[in-house]
Structure 1
Amino acid sequence: MEGLIRFLFIAIGILYIVRAIMRWLIPMLFQSVVNKAQQQHQQQQTNYNSSQKQPTGRIKVDYVPEDRKKGKFPDSEGEFVDYEEVK
């Protein structure tokens, strides 16, 4: 019986110590993960902004589909209908 009581006291003591340590350790771990994510986001944002510098007022077209070059439009585009707005 003494062994069981001794085991319970030791187990409760260890759980209490682990719980106290986790109160300090887990927030520090989460903070470091959040800081890393923020740094990566800032680095990606600066890389994106530096690569997107183009003179204003100019348009650059990278890709034009073949059917657009020939003037043919697929049937899924629909038809243009003239209308007058009635007031």
Structure 2
Amino acid sequence: MAFFLKFILISIILIWVFRVLIRMIFPAVLRNAFSNVQNQANANQQQRTSNSKPEGSISIDYMPKKEKKGNADKLGDFVDYEEVK
């Protein structure tokens, strides 16, 4: 019986300590994570504005090669038809 009461008491104390630590640590971790994300977003924004071209200019970085679909002679014969109703 004493073992059971000791176990319950220790469990309640551990859970209480864990909750208190989580309430202290979790907001600080979230604050740090959000500030890191915000700093990265600001750095990306500054990089985009410094590398941006003047308004109205067009640049093409990559243009895929167009495949030739074949010659019209190789496609076969075209047969006219009339629709019969």
After TM superposition, the score normalised by the length of structure 2 is 0.66
Which structure has the larger Rg?
2
Which segments of 5 or more consecutive residues in structure 1 lack a partner in the other structure? 67-87
Structure 1 residue ranges (4+ consecutive) displaced by more than 3 angstroms after TM superposition: 63-66
Quote how far apart the aligned CAs of 1:53 are: 3.8
Aligned length: 65
With structure 1 as the length reference, what TM-score do the two structures score? 0.64
* 3-state SS of paired residue (2:58): coil
Q: RCO (CA 8 Å, sep 6+): is it higher in 1 or 2?
A: 1
Residue of structure 2 equivalent to 1:70: none
- Sequence identity of aligned pairs in percent? 22
- The equivalent residue for 2:57 is 59
- Paired residue secondary structure (1:60): coil
Taking only aligned residues, the RMSD between alpha carbons, in angstroms, comes to 2.1
Q: Name the CA shift for 1:47/1:4 in 2 (closer, same or farther; >3 Å).
A: same
